[in-house]
Amino acid sequence: MAVNLKGRNFVSFKDFSTEEVWQSIKTAEELKLAHYRGDDRPLLAGKTLAMVFQKPSLRTRVSFESGMSRLGGHAIYLSPNDIKLGQRETTEDIAIVLSRYVDIIMARVFGHDIVVDLAKYSGCPVINGLSDLEHPCQVMADLLTIYEKKRRLEGINFVYIGDGNNMAHSLMYGGALTGMNVTICGPEGYEPNSDVLEESRKFAAQTGAKIEATSDLSQAASDADVIYTDVWASMGQEDEAAARKKIFMPYQVNANVMKLAKNDATVLHCLPAHYGEEIDYDTTRLPNSAVFDQAENRLHAQNAIMVLLAGKQ
């Protein structure tokens, strides 16, 4: 291993250096190739993962649980009713107790402060499976997917079209750390967090990346290597869905948007997709669409993170 991440947390992309992000991508690539050769190694044998969920998810639960199984470990699913974070018991006490039972904690939560507190008080590595501020596991899978398709990240023109949400935040951090130019494009009033934008630009100054936020779709999508979108109303924003649909409809990813991008532009969506809203069905089925490769890569990217943080090295 080029770097030693044993015992570390992955709460935010800010937790990793450029070298450590690349170590994760390369490890994911190795584990994926090994799996396709039928050579899954028990790198997490005897290890147990606690999966703490406030928000339900298909991809997060199945990819982590399947990943632990393939690598010889065991995963325990803890539903919102099993652990009422901060209600029945403090997050501090939960972190201390859980980390005496298991070797890794993954948490998919609402408030980012929850996963920060879990990491602060846990005696074992904590992985952010999603919070309202960031979604680093998804973006590690996204970087792996882009690297597979383009064989580079540095200098790639990446355009995210939609809400300036947790996906946008982790994409800015991830792009900045790897030298990928990231443009976040959405309607005025739905820009990414200004502090995240500023921090990302500081990282980008070290790698040569450009991090931008704009409401000009035509300008943003022009010459894009990657077009990415996400749902317009995230979990917990259901009451805003109807209003957001009207505001965001001009930012739908469709054939007109793809005409602005490069001919071989890769289409990405972190799923689940609301066809006819943020993206149309036909665009997700284009030859250059990698949405299902991207979904699969959640498994491989997370396996790499778990192996690096808690595996046998």
Q: Which of 59, 70, 135, 269 is catalytic?
A: 135
41 classed as catalytic: no
Distances (CA, A) of 311 to 7, 26, 103, 231: 9, 16, 9, 34
Q: Within 10 Å of residue 264's Cβ, how many Cβ atoms?
A: 10
Question: Catalytic site residue 112?
Answer: no
The secondary structure of residue 184, as a DSSP letter, is E
CA distance 152 to 205: 19
Please name the residues in contact with 35: beta carbons below 8 A apart, sequence gap of 6 or more. Answer: 70, 300
Question: Could you say which of 117, 230, 252, 300 is catalytic?
Answer: 230
Asked if 88 is an active-site residue, the reply is: no
Catalytic residue among 8, 59, 70, 108: 108
Catalytic residue among 142, 298, 300, 302: 298
Q: How far apart are CA 175 and CA 2, in angstroms?
A: 21
- For 55, the 3-state DSSP assignment is coil
Catalytic site includes residue 313: no
Candidates 270, 294, 300, 302; catalytic one = 270
- Annotated catalytic residue within 23, 54, 138, 294: 138
Judge whether 270 counts as a catalytic residue: yes
- CA dist 280 and 227 (Å) reads 13
CA–CA gap between residue 177 and residue 25 (Å, rounded): 12
Which positions are catalytic?
Answer: 108, 135, 138, 230, 270, 298
